[in-house]
Structure 1
């Protein structure tokens, strides 16, 4: 904090008066922030297929995607959720963060809808077999689940969705306009060793392996 203030002072910055810059939230918005789920929250969670998970530790903060079929986030009661941890890149930063700092935030996106749902609370990692069994997909049972105790839940307006034109078909990014996974890994290899290189065939193999894994090795 002191370092940040020093940086601001060295640039001649002044701490902005946020209350002067922004209007206070409407009373109806304030009243909609609850410490428990009500009926419409549950209906949205039944339809939810994607959220971003925020966790933190002494090293800093982390944001990580989570996805699954509708209902993959289960409501245990009005103050408790649970979701399974499924294979990703095996960094498991979110799980390691929760071991030391149980605070978390969940931001749900609903494809095609102009609304978000935010849940802030506390998370604990569970390996309870009976709980894990309720979260299985097909014959696959997750190794762990995260149980979320809710501190606050609120719906958030979708202006950011429209600014990004997120759900508009003609604003989808053409895959050929950006580097592929194989091309990115080839560049990372060169960063570690200027002589390291990957052939076009190797890059194509990496791309094919990634496409298969990201679409088929889900659980």
Structure 2
């Protein structure tokens, strides 16, 4: 089926939903409209999050974001500041937010099976507009995404438990897959890209 023929707001087929039970009161009650002290502490421990946005046409995008624990700054119980640092310069997320300011963040803490989901409406500002030191790796961010929190809730641990994400015994040896450089050489059809992982990582480390 051509994905362009699918309506972005088309509901799932009714038959596909019959296997699901109704959510419990506890599952519904855990959604709150602000960042309580548990949310703020979790964000302060988190070195990694995913940022979900959507284009004006409804095409979704998920972007990984990382830094030192607490790299996403809690400004108050209703606002988060996510520094945007040098990446691949596609700026897909920022372009999406220019057309559709709604976004979602999912926070991970290494060793924790639960995750935190935060939804809201965003604005993109210059780093100097906030009275917060956003310097990391000796560099200021290029811009800052400020998210006005509309809802937040903790995701149950089941998916991370199933995946064994933090289990050292389930860690995949890097030799099981080509280096990132080798993959890019194939994807881009560019033999000038170094296949040596150490060379690639050294170049990336200079831009952190």
Q: Same fold (TM over 0.5)?
A: yes
For structure 2, the residue ranges without an aligned partner over 5 or more in a row are none
Question: Number of residues paired by the alignment?
Answer: 201
Matched, 1:203 2:195: yes
1:158 Cα shift?
Answer: 1.2
CA RMSD in angstroms comes to: 2.5
1:181 Cα shift?
Answer: 1.8
1:2 Cα shift?
Answer: 10
C-alpha distance in 1, partners of 2:138/2:131? 12
Among 195, 206, 213, which residue is 2:203 paired with?
Answer: 213
Matched, 1:142 2:141: yes
Q: Is the 8 A contact 2:53 2:96 kept in 1?
A: yes
Q: Is the 8 A contact 1:115 1:158 kept in 2?
A: yes
C-alpha distance in 2, partners of 1:181/1:209? 11
For structure 1, the residue ranges without an aligned partner over 5 or more in a row are 6-12, 191-196
1:121 Cα shift?
Answer: 0.8
Aligned to 1:96: 95
Q: Is the 8 A contact 1:83 1:135 kept in 2?
A: no
Aligned to 2:30: 32
Question: 1:65 and 1:138, CA in 2 relative to 1: closer, same or farther beyond 3 A?
Answer: closer
Q: How does 1:1-219 map to 2 (within 5 A)?
A: 3-4=5-6, 15-16=14-15, 18=17, 20-59=18-57, 60-131=59-130, 134-137=133-136, 139-190=138-189, 198=191, 202-204=194-196, 207-218=197-208
1:215 Cα shift?
Answer: 3.9
Higher helix share: 1
1:139 Cα shift?
Answer: 3.6
Q: Is the 8 A contact 2:46 2:70 kept in 1?
A: yes
| Deviation digits for residues 132-183 of structure 1 (CA, Å, limit 9, x no counterpart) | 7521125411120000011110001111111111001121111111121222
1:41 Cα shift?
Answer: 0.9
After the TM superposition, list the runs of 4 or more consecutive aligned residues in structure 1 that deviate by more than 4 angstroms: none
Aligned to 1:9: none
| Higher Cα radius of gyration | 1
